Structure 1
Amino acid sequence: MKTLRTPDSCFDNLPGYDFAPHYLMVPDTEGGELRVHYLDEGPQDADPVLLLHGEPSWCYLYRKMIPILTAAGHRVIAPDLPGFGRSDKPASRDDYTYQRHVDWMQSLLDHLQLNNITLFCQDWGGLIGLRLVADNPDRFARVAAGNTMLPTGDHDPGEGFRKWQKFSQTTDQFHAGGVIKGGTTTDLPQAVIDAYNAPFPDESYKEGARQFPMLVPTTPDNPASDKNREAWKQLSKWNRPFITLFSDSDPVTAGGDRVMQKLIPGTRGQKHTTIPNGGHFLQEDQGEAVAELLVEFIRNNPR
């Protein structure tokens, strides 16, 4: 599998981002390896908070949340999915599959020996993260889901997602920073938009960003549908704390919080919150508020 690696210089002097990079090599199903980047902040002996981003963002999305979480005494792990951020980027769209990304993140959990995990997941971070929870229920202590879903293809994904999917396949220039800007309620400084573009020096680095919308199960016979159905069977028995922290202005995932509250037992009795003035990328719009709610969620639900 051919991969591309964004030059380190692309990540120099990004506003609000002063975190040391960490790397590990994860195996691929075809016998190769690729390099995954992750942040590892806070006390190493604390239980981990795992922050999983979606597309086309990267762990830069969590820069406002990490200092609040570490100040509260938590260890924070924030990886870049392969194809994004400082992680290696498979050069062919055919090399991007849903299952591969689940497997690559499973390798990260195993390599770092993460247990007693609190997961916060948004967008594709939920599609991957909730599968990890279903596959490793004893390794997760709590889950917080924000603006995400675990689709099986058995239900209409909605007009908002269909428009996004069409745009991702038809636009001549896939402007990652512009996508983030369009999915927020606040005005982003140009330097922040540029930071979201930093992982993609040219269009050849964006095969993952273009392919991810096509990997979402939107029909019942999608290759990932059966495994997502199996994951829902596990989540329907999940009794550990599970909270929804959705925003009020996301046309793509609106209503997904109510589905989770209905189907996942661990949601009962939790302080679910609809965060005001937040778009799809609520970590960008309301990162500090999300972090404070996450700290409260952990404090109110001790192991």
Structure 2
Amino acid sequence: MTAEVFRTPDERFENLPGWPYEPRYVDVDGLRIHYVDEGAGDPVVCFHGEPTWSYLYRKMIPPLVSAGHRVICFDYAGFGRSDKPTDRGWYTYDRHSAIAAAVLGPLELRAATVVVQDWGGPIGLRWAVDNDDRVSRLVILNTGLFTGRVSRGFLAWRGISPPGIRICRWDPCCRVRRPPSLPMTWWPRTRHRSRPWSPRPAPRSFLCWSPPSRVRPARPRWPPCRNRWDGGRNRR
């Protein structure tokens, strides 16, 4: 791993409401990746979205564990307690997918229920297809099934959002700069430290977001999921 990496100090995660879980870590290509593994029984694997981390599922973990399930949630590289490469070009769909496989592979999961939300959809569904012998159920929340064809609305959002986010060397959440091309009418009036692009204060759940701009689909860099779901018929 040659990219410069930021690691959010552990004290940032102390005394989080509803989060008593002991952090677990696995090394993937020199990155420390965080996950929680609670309970016993048929596994439920939760893939979070952007800009949150495993904390997203804090209210789901207790009832699932009480119902006799084993719950696994992990933070993607660049999110939560996982290490954060500061090179924006490092972030790709394939890298996130490879890390998911490296984290979940050794856990010996069987008859798993896969829960996906937001960007957890393309990452988690790819893992589910690659490991269909380990997966029994899918719980698909607000997400998308990417085929390589992107809507105009998505492209418009993608064109607006990435330029304003910059990574600071010592804290990836600490700087937001408005690009000259972005009108002030589009820019948040309140820059809350934990969610600086939001016009209103955010809870502490959004602690350490790193821009995954390279993960967003852009032709021709989006073949893996497309080829998987349509047999490569739309390949260019």
| TM-score of the aligned structures, taking structure 2 as reference length | 0.78
- Structure 2 partner of 1:78: 73
Residues in 1 aligned to 2:153 and 2:226: alpha-carbon distance in whole angstroms? 23
- Structure 1 partner of 2:47: 52
- Tell whether 2:47 aligns with 1:37: no
The answer to whether the 8 A contact 1:56-1:84 is kept is yes
Q: CA 1:131/1:13 → structure 2, altered by over 3 Å: closer, same or farther?
A: same
Percentage of matched positions with identical amino acids = 41
**Which structure carries more helix by proportion?**
1
- Which range is displaced more, 76-85 or 18-27? 18-27
Gaps of 5+ in 1: 28-32, 183-187, 200-205, 235-303
Segments ≥4 residues shifted beyond 6 Å: 179-182
- Structure 2 partner of 1:105: 100
The answer to whether the 8 A contact 1:152-1:217 is kept is no
Gaps of 5+ in 2: 166-174, 178-191, 232-236
| TM-score of the aligned structures, taking structure 1 as reference length | 0.62
Residues in 2 aligned to 1:102 and 1:161: alpha-carbon distance in whole angstroms? 22
- Tell whether 2:138 aligns with 1:143: yes
Residues in 1 aligned to 2:143 and 2:224: alpha-carbon distance in whole angstroms? 17
- Tell whether 2:161 aligns with 1:167: yes
- Tell whether 2:142 aligns with 1:132: no
Instruction: Give the alignment partner of residue 205 of structure 2, picking from 187, 195, 199.
Output: 195
Aligned residues: 206
Map 1:153-302 → 2, pairs under 5 A: 153-156=148-151, 158-159=152-153, 162-163=156-157, 165-170=159-164, 173=176, 177-178=194-195, 193-197=203-207, 199=208, 209-210=210-211, 212-218=212-218, 221-224=219-222, 226-233=223-230
What amino acid is the match of 2:206?
A: Y
1:115, CA displacement in angstroms?
2.3
Residues in 2 aligned to 1:80 and 1:105: alpha-carbon distance in whole angstroms? 9
Q: CA 1:22/1:78 → structure 2, altered by over 3 Å: closer, same or farther?
A: same
- Tell whether 2:88 aligns with 1:93: yes
Residues in 1 aligned to 2:48 and 2:230: alpha-carbon distance in whole angstroms? 24
Q: CA 1:137/1:233 → structure 2, altered by over 3 Å: closer, same or farther?
A: farther
